[in-house]
C-alpha cells in the first residue's frame, strides 16, 4: 500500500474508533453527538455540520428518487450512514467500501442495528482500484471522500464500474473560499496533508469531462456558516432558515457560488471509450 494511503487509513481508523467505542454509529451532527465528542481534538470541526440541512435534504431526496430497486455502491462509506439509509429506502443491494477497517466494522454494526444486513455488504477496499467488474453499479454515492483520493485514478475507476445509464452523486467541500481554506491550514490535527492540498476546485470539475458526459452542480452553505455559533440557542432554526434563504439567492451568482463550503454534483454518461484510451 502506498504511504499516503497508509496515512489516510490510520487517520480515519483513529476517528472512527472513537465513534465505535462510544456506540454512536450515525456521525451526522446533533447536540448529543457534539456533547459526546467535545473533548476530542479530532472532532473539533463537527460544529460546522450543524448547518448542513439543505445539502443533506437535497442528497436524501435524491436517494429516495433514484436508488429504489438499484445496485448501489457507497464509495468510501465512512460509518455507512448513507448506505444504510439507501438500503432502508428500497435499494436492491448496497455495497460499501472503505480503506478503514474500523469504518467497515462500524458499518456492519450500524446495518445490523437498522435491520438491513441482508441487503448490505461492507468491504475493506482501495477506492482507486476497487476490484469490481466493469458496469457493476447503477448508482454510486460518495460524501467528502474525493479530496482524500488521487482523482486521476478515482474518476476513471468510478466511470469503469458504473453502468452506462448509471449516475454518481458526490457531496464535496470546495477550496476557493480563502477564509475556509485558512481554517483548514490552521487546524492540521483535523485532517491529513493530502486532504488539505486536494480540496476540490474548478479545475477538478473540468477534469470530470474526460470521464463523464454530463455533470450537474448544486452549491450550498456560505452565509449559513454564520449560524454555527448559535447552534445551541432556541432561535437557531429560524436564523438558519433565514440564512438558507440568502444562500439560495446568492449562490446562483457565478462568481459567488464557488466560495461556498460545499457542492453536490451528479455525474452521468460515463465515457467508456475514453477509459480504453487512458488504460
How many CB atoms sit inside 10 A of residue 243's CB?
19
Domains of the chain: 3-278 (3.40.50.150)
Burial of 228 per CB tally in 10 Å (0-12, 13-18, 19+): middle
pLDDT at residue 15, as a whole number: 80
Q: Write down the pLDDT at residue 16.
A: 78
Residue 121: predicted pLDDT: 98
Q: How high is the pLDDT of residue 271? A: 93
Nearest to 222 by CA among 43, 30, 51, 84: 51
- What the block records as the C-alpha cell of 103 is 469504518
Task: Please name which of 261, 98, 264, 79 lies closest in space to residue 181, comparing C-alpha atoms.
Answer: 261
Q: What are the mean pLDDT values of the chain's consecutive 10-residue runs (279 residues total)?
A: 92 74 49 54 76 96 98 95 96 98 92 95 97 97 96 96 98 96 89 92 94 97 97 94 98 96 98 63
Long-range contacts of 33-40 (CB under 8 A, 24+ apart): none
C-alpha cell at 20: 465505535
Amino acid at each position: 500500500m502506498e504511504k499516503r494511503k497508509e496515512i489516510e487509513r490510520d487517520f480515519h481508523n483513529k476517528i472512527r474508533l472513537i465513534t465505535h467505542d462510544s456506540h454512536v454509529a450515525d456521525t451526522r451532527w446533533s447536540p448529543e453527538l457534539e456533547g459526546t465528542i467535545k473533548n476530542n481534538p479530532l472532532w473539533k470541526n463537527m460544529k460546522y455540520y450543524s448547518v448542513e440541512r439543505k445539502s443533506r435534504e437535497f442528497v436524501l431526496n435524491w436517494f429516495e428518487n433514484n436508488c429504489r430497486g438499484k445496485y448501489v455502491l457507497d464509495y468510501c462509506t465512512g460509518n455507512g450512514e448513507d448506505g444504510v439509509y439507501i438500503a432502508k429506502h428500497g435499494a436492491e443491494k448496497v455495497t460499501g467500501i472503505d480503506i478503514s477497517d474500523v469504518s467497515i466494522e462500524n458499518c456492519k454494526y450500524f446495518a445490523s442495528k437498522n435491520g438491513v444486513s441482508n441487503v448490505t455488504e461492507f468491504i475493506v477496499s482501495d477506492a482507486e482500484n476497487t476490484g469490481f467488474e466493469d458496469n457493476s453499479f447503477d448508482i454510486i454515492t460518495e460524501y467528502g471522500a474525493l479530496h482524500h483520493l488521487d482523482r486521476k485514478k478515482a474518476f476513471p475507476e468510478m466511470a469503469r464500474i458504473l453502468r452506462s445509464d448509471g449516475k454518481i452523486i458526490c457531496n464535496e467541500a470546495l477550496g476557493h473560499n480563502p477564509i475556509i481554506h485558512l481554517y483548514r491550514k490552521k487546524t492540521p490535527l483535523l485532517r491529513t496533508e493530502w486532504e488539505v492540498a486536494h480540496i476540490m476546485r474548478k479545475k477538478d470539475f473540468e477534469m470530470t469531462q474526460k470521464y463523464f458526459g454530463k455533470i450537474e452542480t448544486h452549491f450550498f452553505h456560505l452565509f449559513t456558516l454564520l449560524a454555527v455559533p448559535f447552534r445551541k440557542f432556541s432561535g437557531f432554526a429560524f436564523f438558519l432558515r433565514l440564512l438558507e434563504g440568502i444562500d439560495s439567492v446568492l449562490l446562483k451568482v457565478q462568481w459567488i457560488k464557488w466560495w461556498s463550503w460545499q457542492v453536490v454534483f451528479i455525474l452521468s454518461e460515463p465515457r467508456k471509450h475514453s477509459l480504453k484510451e487512458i488504460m
